[in-house]
Amino acid sequence: MPPMNVDLHSHSIASDGLLPAMEVAARAKAGGVDVWALTDHDEVKALGEARSAAEAAGMQFVDGVEISVSWSPKAGNGGPKDTTIHVVGLQIDPANQVLLDGLRQIRSGRDERAERIAFDLDIAGIPGTLAGARKYAVNPELLSRSHFARYLVEVGKASSTHQAFHHFLTEGKPGYVAHQWATLPEAMHWISSAGGIAVVAHPGRYKLSQPQLNEFFAEFKDLGGGAIEVMTGSHTTTQYNHFADVSRCFGFMASRGSDYHGPGESRIEPGALPPLPADLKPVWHDWF
């Protein structure tokens, strides 16, 4: 029997994806996925729709969420310097009140951040981005940088959303604003309260040195963190190998997820990543 095709990271229009959860499910099915998780940013409201669609298509469904965390290395290790890190919660109970309250709290900060992003872009000579970004945000509570990026493409300030992030919206560029998300202990508490397991999303994407990333992994592990994404649409082949080693070193389980956002915005289709290295313990090893 071929190994199960497991894809545990994807987004719908409930956050910054381009497709409704039902259509993401259809893409996952078309990509040969057997076990699929939807992991919208700071939001769980599409999980019911996603589960129904997944089960109707004959896939196993995993309830997920991707939580935005602000983390800073200790003084002496280049800190304090805030970095946004994404922590995925898998097998969560989407009705858990601690989780719901926490996520609502983070979402409420997004509007204020969006206003500051728009103000900054206005000063840089690009007016009207708040209204422009809002057009792309189906969930009004989840206005994200991706929605600004789509508007910047629309008005010709970037040729792709990838380029929009490269020239705007990231540290040191117009439209970047520092923002306080959840703390790591908060996010871990919400996930564990909801019965889930915490997974570091795309660890190769953060602007942290190796010692800083090691500090983060140690803290994550101390707080009960169980896994890291080894195979993700954000990693290069070299990074697959590197984070497989990290997983072995720290004793983390390994996860696999495309981080699919929709046609034209994702390098990897659902289900299309290479399998995990055979010696790693998959995060799903005792789920079925």
Residue ranges in contact with Zn ion by CB under 5 A: 66, 86, 201, 259
Tokens 């998959």 map to which residue? 282
Q: How many CB atoms lie within 10 A of CB 209?
A: 12
3-state secondary structure 32-52: CCCEEEECCECCCCCHHHHHH
Kindly tell me which of 126 and 136 has the beta carbon lying closer to Zn ion: 136
Kindly tell me which of 66 and 269 has the beta carbon lying closer to Zn ion: 66
In the bound complex, what is the minimum distance in angstroms from residue 66's beta carbon to Zn ion?
5
Kindly tell me which of 126 and 197 has the beta carbon lying closer to Zn ion: 197
Distance CA 108, CA 195 (A): 24
In the bound complex, what is the minimum distance in angstroms from residue 97's beta carbon to Zn ion?
24
Kindly tell me which of 89 and 157 has the beta carbon lying closer to Zn ion: 89
Where are the strands (E) in the chain, listed by range? 6-7, 35-38, 60-71, 83-90, 197-200, 227-232, 253-257
Distance CA 23, CA 157 (A): 29
Distance CA 198, CA 217 (A): 12
In the bound complex, what is the minimum distance in angstroms from residue 11's beta carbon to Zn ion?
6
Kindly tell me which of 63 and 259 has the beta carbon lying closer to Zn ion: 259
**Structure tokens belonging to residue 143:** 């206005």
In the bound complex, what is the minimum distance in angstroms from residue 127's beta carbon to Zn ion?
29
Burial class (CB in 10 A: 0-12, 13-18, 19+), 13: buried
The residue whose Cβ lies closest to Zn ion is 86
Kindly tell me which of 120 and 259 has the beta carbon lying closer to Zn ion: 259
One DSSP character per residue, 50-81 reads: HHHHHHHTT-EEEEEEEEEEEE-PPTTTT-S-
